[in-house]
Amino acid sequence: MTYDTIFTAIGDPTRRSVLEALRGNPMTVGMLAEKIPVSRPAVSQHLKVLREARLVTVTPKGTANEYAVDKTGLDEVRSWLDSMWDDALEAFKSHVENKSKN
């Protein structure tokens, strides 16, 4: 399941900070490292996890790598959410039916 990777990625607070920072505009590693209270190599490591989860994209620009939000991973979250929501509604409905049968 792809969403395992995605939710594991989002599960970390620092990685959520990275996504929050990127929601406005693409940013380089250095810029992110100035904004988020961890070392630059730590930011790189987190970006790697986010990239593998398809939550960010990277575009080399000279010596700099520019990162942006990748909607692919967000799509997966939405699919999971819709599916989860539907099932929860279904379970609630049949639960109520069972209840009114007793």
**Which residues between 33 and 72 bind DNA (CB under 7 A)?**
33, 38-49, 58, 60, 62-65
Smallest gap, in angstroms, from Cβ of residue 86 to DNA? 26
CA distance 39 to 74: 26
Q: Does 48 bind its own copies (CB under 8 A)?
A: no
Give the residues across from 69 on adjacent strands. 56
Q: Classify each residue of 28-58 as buried b or exposed e, where b means 16 or more C-beta atoms within 10 Å of its C-beta.
A: bbebbbeebeeeeeebeebbebbbebbbbbb
Q: Does 96 bind its own copies (CB under 8 A)?
A: no
Q: Does 60 bind its own copies (CB under 8 A)?
A: no
Please report, as ranges, the residues that interact with DNA according to CB under 7 A. 11-12, 14, 28-30, 33, 38-49, 58, 60, 62-65
